[in-house]
Amino acid sequence: MANKTFFVTGTDTDAGKTFISAALLHKANSEGLRSLALKPVASGSEQQEEGLRNSDALILQAAMSESMDYEQLNPFAFEPAIAPHIAAEQAGLRLSASRLAGFCRGALFTPHDFSLIEGAGGWRVPLNERENFSDLAKEMNLPVVLVVGLRLGCINHALLSLESIACDGLQIAGWVANHVDPNMSCMEENLATLKRRVDAPYLGFVPNLAHEKEAMKKAAEYLSLPKLN
């Protein structure tokens, strides 16, 4: 597991990428691993005394074991809660996979055993007029962890995402079933279908923990790191 870096993507927006990423970091910490996480681009940030800060990036910063300046963890923070490529255009910036990969590689010089790079939205979210966030994972040749948000439509979203990841030539390191909709009908049947249809390591099912104290640490108990390779 030493010095392993994974790219975390989701079936769609609000699938729970940050929640599961934080849980994986807590899991790594509990196993004595030095953990890091990066959120290269984040929209929906708030202006604070130190500058723009994104709540998801702050969650990752709190969950990882190693210290890192916020600007390393989240080099591109945008205030509007809109598609990142549009937010970047409005800020007069152009994001690119190669530029983001450079920031990530620099940050990952911090000594660690286990690290995550979290994307934005799903696999095909645009990065600029030609590239997607998936091109960052391709640029760095990273194995991918897919967070499947369990709600209506999740089977189709999961299978399409996994097909796209495989078509891009990247390893699917594992997938997590995250129960984001507590009112989902036939949840167990949907999960059973996913288990049958998904040919990738299953890292665990995380129940809906919205009202639990220290929910991310609790979620870590449902996840498995040894299957990540």
36 and 21 Cβ atoms separated by less than 8 Å: no
119 carries a ligand binding annotation: yes
102 carries a ligand binding annotation: no
Q: Among the options 4, 39, 138, 217, which is catalytic? A: 39
| Number of alpha carbons in the 13 Å side-chain half-sphere of residue 229 | 5
CA-to-CA dists, residue 202 to 13, 23, 141, angstroms: 21, 15, 21
149 carries a ligand binding annotation: no
User: 51: alpha, beta or left, given left = phi > 0 and alpha = psi -120 to 50?
Assistant: left
39 classed as catalytic: yes
- The 8-class DSSP code of residue 61 comes to H
69 carries a ligand binding annotation: no
Could you give the 3-state DSSP secondary structure of residue 41? strand
110 carries a ligand binding annotation: no
How far is it, in rounded angstroms, from Cα 78 to Cα 80? 6
153 carries a ligand binding annotation: no
85 carries a ligand binding annotation: no
208 carries a ligand binding annotation: yes
The alpha carbon torsion through 38, 41, 47, 50 (nearest 10 deg) reads: 40
103 carries a ligand binding annotation: no
Bind-site residues for Mg(2+): 18, 56, 118
Catalytic residues: 39
Bind-site residues for substrate: 43
Bind-site residues for ATP: 14-19, 56, 118-121, 178-179, 207-209
Bind-site residues: 14-19, 43, 56, 118-121, 178-179, 207-209
